[in-house]
Chains A and B, each alone.
Chain A
Amino acid sequence: MTLRGGDHRSGKMPAVDALEVLADLCSGDQIVVTNQGSARILPKLRRRPLDFHYNPSTMGGAVPLALGLALAQPQREVLVVSGDGSLLMSLGVLVTVVKAGVTNLAIVLLDNGIYEVTGGQETPATPAVDYCGLARAAGFASACSFQQLADWQARAADALSEPGPRFIRLAVQTAPNDYLRFPTPPMDEQLAQLRRALGAAARS
């Protein structure tokens, strides 16, 4: 595989490749919520009715929105991709997820240590915060971290089939500009598409 963008010597995986692994593993009836940088990268990799690219958003809102979907649709898996800056805006949501008792939710954290879409300023969490430790302490059933793309490729399927709620932290490089500038699909179009997909599934 060709690595795209970023500094290959950083010891972190390229964000685009990390999301590509995720895209290949997502099942047909799974809801995928993206946010901030991932809401620009994933639509460039694939388009799918049950993908909801939450942009424009409120920072920190992706996980609670995905939790609402997981509560409303307990028969299907919900996966949310959040940036570290967004999660830091609302760390308490890890506790909210556990208290809500959902097992059909997976949080995938893209941890690059910066606010990527605003130009790359450092978050307060640099040099390092143990996000998996925070998730475990909040009561997540499983939490694991990946730094190298090869490890993530080899173990992603297992990590995503651990008991829920699941927390997966991926150490990623900054994304290439041509991905970050890719437009998120219009919100009205996305909402209509998601509602149609959920409604069709409910009728079938």
Chain B
Amino acid sequence: MFTGPEIVATLSELGVTHVVWVPDTAIGPWEAALDAAGSLRLIRVCREGEAWPLAAGLHLGGKSPLVMMQTTGLFESGDALRNVLFDLKLPIFSLIGLRNWLTRDRTTRPRLMPSRSCGRGAWNASGSCGRTTSQNSPRTFAAAAARACPAWRFWRRARHDASRRRSSLG
């Protein structure tokens, strides 16, 4: 798994302005780096159901939020996710930590699989565009994110082009 500074650098490159999160064991170690990042702001919510509408408000207000939570939080927040996707139709990006994934060697397979398969199932059932990845470097993570969603790929390409235009003007 990559480090906090690496994820901050990746998210900054992608133009993320706010990370709205409930941490878990997989993404929790990034807290210090996310909190100290000058390029984005970490917003802590009390439960995952708050995260999706909060990100929707940020998006409507002109920001580029990223929601982070774990698979169990995804289950908890199902109605809020449904609302953002189907009622508001907003392109909210998220990164869902797979519960127990990093401890899979120490747990029994039956204990791991419900979280993984149900997490993926819930994601698919919600109609979200997503991809499961176990990439362990920021570069491969960013590539996986790009493969996961055409909108993300478009967003990254647009940002890259804007950056090149700024460079050529400078």
- Give chain A's interface residues, CB within 8 Å of chain B: 52, 56-62, 64-73, 89-90, 92-93, 95-96, 99-100, 187-188, 191, 194-195, 198, 202
Contact = CB atoms under 8 A, between A and B. Distances in A.
B57 A93 contact: no
Given A58-B82, A92-B46, A187 B56 contact: no
B83 interface: yes
B60 A100 contact: no
A71 B53 CA distance: 13
Given A58-B53, A187-B88, A96 B45 contact: yes
B50 A64 contact: yes
Nearest to A195: B60
A69 B57 contact: yes
Interface string B42-75: 0111110111111111111111010000000000
13 contacts: A61-B49, A66-B57, A68-B63, A69-B61, A71-B58, A90-B47, A96-B50, A96-B54, A191-B89, A194-B60, A195-B60, A198-B62, A202-B62
B60 A68 contact: yes
A108 to B, nearest CB: 17
Contacts of A70: 57
B58 A62 contact: no
A191 B54 contact: no
Interface residues of B, number: 30
B126 to A, nearest CB: 13
B63 A72 contact: yes
B87 A90 contact: no
Contacts of A71: 18, 41, 43, 57-58, 61, 63
B80 interface: yes
B13 interface: no
Given A57-B83, A99-B44, A191-B88, A67 B54 contact: yes
